[in-house]
Amino acid sequence: MIKNLSVRPSLIPREQRGSVESQVCYLTSRIQKITEHLDLHGRDYSSQRGLLKIVGKRKRLLIYLLKKDRLRYKRLIDQLDIRGLR
């Protein structure tokens, strides 16, 4: 998996900043950070709820990408090393 997924707007070309791939990459980065936080603070229920919301948003974006373009979906899943949809 890519270790540092911090998405800097200056590194992404202007026409790709709102793309599904960049959004999924950003959400994956946030999911990793919140997961690390929850490893230390297991009873932080607000963060748990936020994590579930972010995971749901990423799932909806992946479903959209799967329906629109399977090749881009597969490439993104392989690049981020995340489990695909069932």
17/10 Cα distance (integer angstroms)? 9
Hey, is 14 helix, strand or coil?
Answer: helix
> Any idea where the domains of the chain sit in the sequence?
19-80
Residue with tokens 């690390």: 36
Of 20, 21, 27, nearest in space to 6 by CA: 27
CATH (one of 3.90.280.10, 3.60.15.10, 2.30.29.30, 1.10.287.10) for 19-80: 1.10.287.10
pLDDT in tens, the chain (86 residues): 455 555 566 677 888 889 999 999 999 999 999 999 999 999 999 999 999 999 999 999 999 999 999 999 999 999 999 999 98
Q: Where are the alpha helices (DSSP H) in the chain?
A: 20-40, 45-68, 70-80
